[in-house]
Amino acid sequence: MFTAHVESGLRPPTLWVPWRQAVGEVAYLGISELGLFVEGYLEGWIPDGWITLR
């Protein structure tokens, strides 16, 4: 399972969307490697555990 939490007063919450769409929805955060990170995590090349991106 993959969950993410992003707070913003700029947009209404979006829930239960495909991860590629979710990455696009938070592009305004400016985390250029986010798509690659999520793909790696979901495909298993990044280990499970708490991870914080800033």
Ordered per-residue pLDDT tens for the chain, 54 residues: 566 666 666 766 666 778 888 888 788 888 888 898 888 888 888 887 777 776
Q: Where are the domains of the chain?
A: 16-54
The confidence score (pLDDT) of residue 14 equals 62
Size of the chain, expressed as the number of residues it contains: 54
Q: Which residues of 19-29 are buried (b: 16+ CB within 10 A; e: fewer)?
A: eeebbeeeeee
Does the pTM exceed 0.95? no
